[in-house]
Structure 1
Amino acid sequence: MTAMMTTMLSVRGLARSFGAIRAVDDLSFDLARGEMLALIGPNGAGKSTCFNMLTGQLRPDRGQVLLEGIPITGLPPRRIWRLGVGRTFQVTATYLSMTVAENVQMALISHHRRLFNMIRRAHRLYRDEARALLDLVGMGDQAGRAAATLAYGDLKRLELAVALAHGPRLLLLDEPTAGMAAGERAALMRLVARITRERGLAVLFTEHDMEAVFAHASRIMVLNRGRLIAEGTAGEIRADPQVQEVYLGGGTLLARSGGGGA
C-alpha cells in the first residue's frame, strides 16, 4: 500500500472464539480505497466469522476495527451500514415477490430514511436512481421483471445493485460468484473491479474460484484455522509453500484452477 492511498479499513488483533475453537485468532490487516483484497482459506478457516465481526453481526472477544480511523468495533449492524459499509451474502437476500427495480428502490428508500412515509407512493420513489444502479450492473433491461424469475447470476447482480444503493465506502462481498457459471463469474468480477476503480471503493471479498481471485485481487490474505498464514500478491501466494500445503497437500496452486478454494 503506497502512502498516497487512503486507508479505509484497519483491523488490529481481531479475535473470536466459540468455546475451545478459535474461529479468528489475532487477525490484523489494512485495506485501502480503490483496493480489492481477497480473503481466502479452507472451509472453517474463519472467513465468515471475520465478515460477521466487521459488519456487527458478531461482537469480537478482543481487537479493534477502524473505518477511516473511526472505531466501529461492536457497533450494531445498522449503525455500521449507515457509516458506509455494504455487504452481500453467499445466499442472495432479495425480495422475490418484488420486481428488480422495486428491490433497489426499497434499498434507496431505506438509505434516505423514507420507510415511514412510503406506503402509498413507494413505487414512485427513486425510480431514476434505481434504474441508474441497475444500468451500472447490467440489469437495466430487466427492471420490470419479478425477482423470483431471475437466473441465479442475475440475482447476484441485483444484490450488488442493492448493496450499492446507499453509496458504501467499504464493500464486503461474501462468495460473490457462488453458484454461477464460469462465464458469469468472470463477468461479475470484471464488473466489481470496474466499479471499485470508478467509485474509489475499498472491497474485501471471499471467493472459492481461485481464477477470479488471482485475476482481480490487489492482494490476497490466506486464513487457516483462524490465523493469517500468508499475505501478498497472486504470485507470492501461489508460490507460498504453506499455502500450497493447506490447499493441496503440497501440490501447486494453479492460477487457472476453478477449485482449490475456501
Structure 2
Amino acid sequence: IIGVNKGTKFLTYLDDSKKTYLARLHFGKRSLTGDVDGEILEEKDVPDFSQRQIEEAFSSFLGEGEQIPPMTSAIKIDGIPLYKKAHKGLVVERKPRKIFIYSLKFISFEKNVLTFETEVSRGTYIRVLGEDIAKKLGNIGYLEELERTSLGNFSLKDAVKLDSLNENSLLDASPFLPFPAYQIQDEEERKQVLNGVMLYLGKDLGERILVKEGPRALAIYKKVEGTLVYKPERGLF
C-alpha cells in the first residue's frame, strides 16, 4: 500500500487492521528461523494427517491468545532489534504478546506440506503460528511460503502493478480505516474540529473515530480514557 500526499497520514492506522495470509507449512523439519531460510536443526517422520485432525488442531488456536515473538523479529529490546541479537547467536527473554486469530482455513495437505489461510490481528507472527500448529499435531515444521492476501479491506486481488499506476488508480483511504466514522453535527462542531478542540460526544464510539463532514475526512480523534470525550490525534484536512 502506497500513500500519496495526504494519504500518507492514514498509513500508520492501516497497520492496526486485520491481516489475511496464505501459508505453506512444511512438516518434519524445524529450522533456526522458523522459515525456509534458516538452518535445519531437527528432522522427524511425518504421519499422514487427516483434514479432520488438522482442523481440530486449528480450533484450539482460534480467538484471543498469547504468542512469544521469534528472535528473528524486528521488535526492539534495549533499543536493539531482536534479529540483530539473533545474528550474533544471542537468545534473550521475550514477553508474550496478546494476539487474536479470527480464522484458520484448511486448503490442502500434500507431500508433508499443509496449505492454510488465516486471518489474524496485528502483531501475529505466522511462522510462530505454523510451528505451534505442527507442535499441536505432535510434529515439527517451518514456513515454506507466506503471502499476505489482505490488509483490512485492501485485497491483493485489487492491487495494481507499479508500471500501470495513474491518477485513476488513487483511492480515498478513509473508508478503509479500522474504526467508526462520526459525522459532525453543525457548523460550530465543524469549527471545533478544524481548530483541534476536544469533542464531548456523550457516548462511547470506540478508542478512535474518523470525524467526517459528509464524504470528507477531517480528522482522527482518540477517546480520553475513562471519559466520553475525544481529543484530536491527527488532522486530515
Task: Please classify the TM superposition score into its range, dividing by the shorter chain length.
Answer: under 0.3
Structure 1 or 2: more helix by fraction: 1
> Which is greater in Rg?
2
Query: TM-score if structure 2 supplies the norm length?
Result: 0.23
